Amino acid sequence: MGKHSRPGPPNQPSRAVPRVDGGDPLAAYEKRRRPPLDIHRRHRPLHGGGGHLQPDEPRALEEWNGFSYEPAGTAANLAEAQQWVSEETSGTTGGPVEEHRNSN
Query: Between residues 19 and 89, which one has the greater pLDDT?
Result: 19
Range of the domain at 78: 38-102
Residue 10 falls inside a structural domain: no
Structural domains of the chain, count = 1
Sheet holding 69-75, edge to edge: 41-45, 59-64, 69-75
In the DSSP assignment, the letter for residue 3 is: T
Residue 64 falls inside a structural domain: yes
Beta-carbon contacts of residue 18 (< 8 Å; ≥ 6 apart): 31
Lowest-confidence region among 13-17, 39-43, 73-77, 79-83: 13-17
Residue 44 falls inside a structural domain: yes
Give all strands (DSSP E) within the chain, no chain letters: 41-45, 59-64, 69-75
pLDDT band at 80 (very low <50, low <70, confident <90, very high): very high
Q: Please give the average per-residue pLDDT across 14-35, as a whole number.
A: 71
Residue 85 has pLDDT above 60, yes or no: yes
